[in-house]
Structure 1
């Protein structure tokens, strides 16, 4: 969270910084501030609590101008929303802005206090400001001081710094939080998102993990984490195609399916430590408040409800916390029993889903410990009204059938599960989950390469009117999501069942005209699932298995197998979602339906 903008130019950069903050307000709206080196060579700082418009008002009352400066819009982690906690922070002639979390801020604060530094905020960022000032006092050289500071801080961060001794230079670095350098004509800019700078440039250098840089009007020097000179090429940002144009893809849905590796990477940015998750992104005292949670209720609709059902398996197994999942439209019309210390989680792509929003408002009077929104829209009603929020950073999703919004919801829920396990003494799950999440974008990219095989499978549905989806454990909700996708955009009647329920009714529907799709990872329930699938084969059903590559493929001509790579159990539901998305898309093409705008459906359901 939080947003950074910086600029060095031959013109007044105050309007550039303000416009950048407006475009980044989705990343934080607790407070905002600017620090600009004026014509006399001194730093002028203006800060305000609230949205960027409050900073604009403050600047009208106290105008500042200059050719070098940094700006920030904040979402509070360390320290409440207040002017003294707002960025930029100052120390002995320098100003700094920061996104992310400095994990070792407490011992560094004590060390600096012993050296005589006074703190005016509760933030971890002010620690970095004083540490950098301390090293500059020792070396007299900003680049050396910056390197030394980066060597002492741990965590996830993006940093931008200006110093009065170099009134034309920006210093910056990133580790776990995004940061880009924009190229202008005799100007340079910084931002945590290219969107912040599209009013001045569409050419960017993307810093990689551990990179740090020194930027002037005419130069841009970049070093990698080891201190070696790094060449980061200038890339033109195709913002129109990225957001509201299909680009090379036939439909938005397909484009959004293939955007999932990046969407997952963006959702995880700044949330992972080496072998743990950074719980402070949930705000002050998150560790303590997470440890107090004894029960969880999840409320959502449609695809988001399926994400919640997957999370129930994760939370109860890994965190050891009872978890109940409710359809939002039903939840608020019954008498809900809320055990002590229960967290309410609401999930919505838009944050304006009427039933989910109404459920959150109903829950306010039910005695919950806290409320948490998982959402893709930072300024939405759901996010504003919840106590905590996890943003999925999926970007614009135009297709009505949710794809990248769903997988990023699952990623956020797995991150939350890991945070709960971490704070409830179940450390055996934490490092494994963190490693699995870190490698997830590359695995998603690999599985999307199965598209040609799925195109061939789609032809089997050309004349079908019904389909059955089967799964077990946390893959049963994935089967539900697969069935929902197929019915949404191909108009084929599809239902999902827990595979063990076949013999309790659905088996009566199985014949040679009924495609049966199974989700078959190599997990503890595999042998049970195989027995269920034999029941389908014995009745002549057309069986399609999305199965782990470690499972021997069938030789039966009526069985079609698609092999997926072996993955850790914790990310398996995310991985097995992908081929079901592709299957529904290509079946819809075969059927000739309107993929992006299926009949009778809307993207955001804002009525009950």
Structure 2
């Protein structure tokens, strides 16, 4: 049995996904009533760190599902320059995510937007009694995803799942809703394989430069996978759009690099052309996505097939979270207490 909270919080995710699905189903009517009362013509997603990266993925998914323009920016930009990222007309909606609900930039961003009457605000958090829920117009609380560890794991996947369900409710896309109902079962089935593949990958310490590639909805996931490894191990990690990686950053590749390519149906044709280029300089490449016969088993991390790209999003995370966890153990570090980090980032008072 692993002694760390981080491990248990990764392992329990499929169970918490089921709870989130049930909660969102019960809360569907109030959520839709809030949206219909406000009729947003655009949506801005925001957060900090992990919550910003889930906002990137959620914004892409939301726009694809609903057709409503959506994008994501860090909460600090909303806090300090709200008029540069939000236009009050046509009617916008701000969706702010924070595990603790106390992150200074997120809370102040919502406060500033409401003070200027730029947008209505919806909050997603694991803490129902937080400051964020107080200042937002509507909140989606997920207390069953509270975490003891510093790094966010299950809170990321559950907040993302809640936002994806929110988009699917609005679009009334039954295929997406049916796919999402499968996620707890598929995640539980995949968990042991993901853990063992992550553990085996972490045993190879010859690669100390890690690169994560993801396109569209998967770019935010690539950034989050990168952040988990960087937070927990302090190894050199980067994240890019896979095709953009060819435009300059590919020059860093050598035998010290390991590249993780988050592959989806949208990019599969281009991924096949990219993989040989990534390997030319001796880099190790692992493709994470639906099974494919074109790669050896040791070169891929298989995810359950048959889901739409966006619906599969949270299934990518357990492998990367386990990878960061086991890499941390290899380095004899404490995964629950990364260096220089705490659970909540609080800034000083305004003007200080």
Could you tell me the TM-score, scaled by structure 2's length?
0.92
1:423-453 CA distance string (max 9 Å, x none): xxxxxxx211221222211111112121112
Question: Over alpha carbons, which structure has the higher Rg?
Answer: 1
Q: RMSD of the alignment, in Å?
A: 1.9
Contact 1:303 1:406 in 2 (8 A): yes
Contact 2:92 2:118 in 1 (8 A): yes
Aligned match of 1:434:
177
Counting only pairs closer than 5 Å after superposition, residues 542-581 of structure 1 correspond to structure 2 as: 542-549=284-291, 551-555=292-296, 560-569=299-308, 570-581=310-321
Aligned match of 2:142:
392
The separation in 1 between residues aligned to 2:131 and 2:105, in whole angstroms, is 12
The separation in 2 between residues aligned to 1:397 and 1:555, in whole angstroms, is 37
Aligned match of 1:259:
12
1:149-192 CA distance string (max 9 Å, x none): xxxxxxxxxxxxxxxxxxxxxxxxxxxxxxxxxxxxxxxxxxxx
Counting only pairs closer than 5 Å after superposition, residues 408-423 of structure 1 correspond to structure 2 as: 408-422=158-172
Aligned match of 2:201:
457
1:250 to partner: Cα distance: 2.2
1:472 to partner: Cα distance: 1.5
Structure with more of its chain in helix, by fraction? 2
The separation in 2 between residues aligned to 1:332 and 1:270, in whole angstroms, is 30
3-state SS of 1:414 partner = helix
Aligned match of 2:124:
374
Counting only pairs closer than 5 Å after superposition, residues 252-401 of structure 1 correspond to structure 2 as: 252-272=5-25, 279-282=28-31, 285-286=33-34, 288-289=36-37, 292-334=39-81, 335-336=83-84, 337-338=86-87, 339-401=89-151
Q: Which runs of 5+ in 2 are unaligned?
A: none
Quick one: which of 283, 286, 289 aligns to 1:541?
283
The separation in 1 between residues aligned to 2:3 and 2:30, in whole angstroms, is 37
Structure with more of its chain in strand, by fraction? 1
Question: How has the CA–CA distance of structure 1 residues 437 and 281 changed in structure 2, closer, same or farther, with 3 Å as cutoff?
Answer: farther
Contact 2:262 2:288 in 1 (8 A): yes
3-state SS of 2:262 partner = strand
Higher relative contact order (CA 8 A, sep 6+): 2
Contact 1:375 1:391 in 2 (8 A): yes
The aligned length equals 343
1:267-324 CA distance string (max 9 Å, x none): 1224338xxxx632338x436226x111101111000111110011111111001112
3-state SS of 1:372 partner = strand
1:519 aligns with 2:266: no
The separation in 1 between residues aligned to 2:48 and 2:333, in whole angstroms, is 24
3-state SS of 2:80 partner = coil
Question: How has the CA–CA distance of structure 1 residues 330 and 387 changed in structure 2, closer, same or farther, with 3 Å as cutoff?
Answer: same
3-state SS of 1:544 partner = strand
Aligned match of 1:165:
none
Question: How has the CA–CA distance of structure 1 residues 437 and 555 changed in structure 2, closer, same or farther, with 3 Å as cutoff?
Answer: closer
The separation in 2 between residues aligned to 1:370 and 1:552, in whole angstroms, is 48
The separation in 2 between residues aligned to 1:394 and 1:538, in whole angstroms, is 46
The separation in 2 between residues aligned to 1:382 and 1:590, in whole angstroms, is 37
The separation in 2 between residues aligned to 1:405 and 1:370, in whole angstroms, is 24
Aligned match of 2:222:
479
